[in-house]
Structure 1
């Protein structure tokens, strides 16, 4: 038996078309009602389909939420061009994240509601949903190595720190970061830390 559902225009939707419609409806539900209001009943009604259609694809509420976040993230990835310097590219990344990921970060702050009593941990859900950001950071670091700006190994906690600080401030304030905050993260936190590793003042080689 194949899944199908009727859209608002009366057309039958199947396969990838139906799945995309469900996930778009699921994202609208998250934005309107928050994670607490993210239920199979609500998503099915918004997508003009049935709960069994959802359950056949995503057996749990958690899996549906992860799939929803993945679709949104993959549809609007963080793209940082080669700007010629580590500083400029990291600032660009934070601007991109500030603009494109503010709503996602707000959703992540409420994930505990969904995960209550679930075998899926917050760390697992977070890793699945935002793995693309790490790939973008790795690209920036690789370009900096190619230019000779970085010549030592930097721990993932260091390279990922700027975006983690952005996430943390958004979760605390529920507002996007200011231009000044973004510049401060890069110029007063990240780059001095990179310099400390470069000069042997931090890391395994530090005295």
Structure 2
């Protein structure tokens, strides 16, 4: 349609969708703002006004294309809920091209503000908020004494997942998820919240 210009959320959605498609197709090292702009049918300045670096664009694309909506988890047990939550987290993570996080980490060391944003995202404060309702239901079922656990305790299973995948290159399958829940998450929660 001649003369039609996307704006606001519509434009942002188109840009982040194009960035995600480019990331999936060519990977982080080969991804360029020029190619994202071409894919989105816009210009580089339009992208740079919103995200001044490739790293910032990729972080935004990850958040936009892999949203966390896990509030519907209720398997009837804390163990089942944790396995489901961790499993969904792993499924989100494996959708990210393997060179993305290492590329982001390498690039963002030169950009302190971007590195801070990446660290904030990796800390996954959203995960803590997703676990809290699971703990509340566990208290209601008599599985835990309290749902007031320290955030650091709640992040441990996901920190372990990131370490195993990013540093050790371990494929996290259903068996590994069950082990992380049974050997780490449940004992930790029962000790600190039980």
TM-score under structure 1 length normalisation: 0.77
Distance 2:141 2:17 in 1: 41
Give the alignment partner of residue 162 of structure 2, picking from 158, 167, 179.
167
* Matched residue SS, 1:36: coil
Query: CA contact under 8 A between 2:161 and 2:172: conserved in structure 1?
Result: yes
Contact 1:105–1:167 (Cα < 8 Å) also in 2: no
For these two proteins, the number of residue pairs brought into alignment is 190
1:11: how far off?
8.2
2:106 to 104, 113, 123: 113
Of 21, 31, 36, which residue of structure 1 is paired with 2:14?
Answer: 21
8 Å Cα contact 2:77-2:138 kept in structure 1: yes
Deviates more, 1:179-188 or 1:144-153: 144-153
* Contact 1:29-1:42 within 8 A present in 2 as well: yes
Distance 1:88 1:117, change over 3 A: same
Question: 1:57–1:197: structure 2 CA closer, same or farther, 3 Å change rule?
Answer: closer
User: Alpha-carbon deviation of 1:198?
Assistant: 5.0
Gaps of 5+ in 1: 1-5, 200-207
Q: Rate the CA distance shift 1:105–1:46 in 2: closer, same or farther, 3 A.
A: closer
TM-score normalized by the length of structure 2: 0.81
- Residues 77 and 132 of structure 1 are in contact (CA less than 8 Å); yes or no, is this contact kept in structure 2? no
CA RMSD, 1 decimal? 2.7
Aligned residue for 1:134? 128
Q: Considering only CA atoms, is the larger Rg found in Structure 1 or Structure 2?
A: 1
Q: What's the CA shift string for 1:135-178, capped at 9, x where partnerless?
A: 21222223223333222442222212222222222224556412
> For 1:37-48, what aligned pairs fall within 5 Å after superposition?
37-48=30-41
Cα distance in 1 for partners of 2:150, 2:137 equals 16
1:83 pairs with 75, 81, 96, which one? Answer: 75
Measured after TM superposition, the shift of residue 114 of structure 1 is 2.8
C-alpha distance in structure 2 between counterparts of 1:96 and 1:163, whole Å: 11
Write the distance in 2 (CA, Å) between the matches of 1:20 and 1:111: 21
Q: Is the 8 A contact 2:73 2:85 kept in 1?
A: no
Deviation per CA, 1:113-140: give whole Å up to 9, x if none: 3313212253432424744333212222
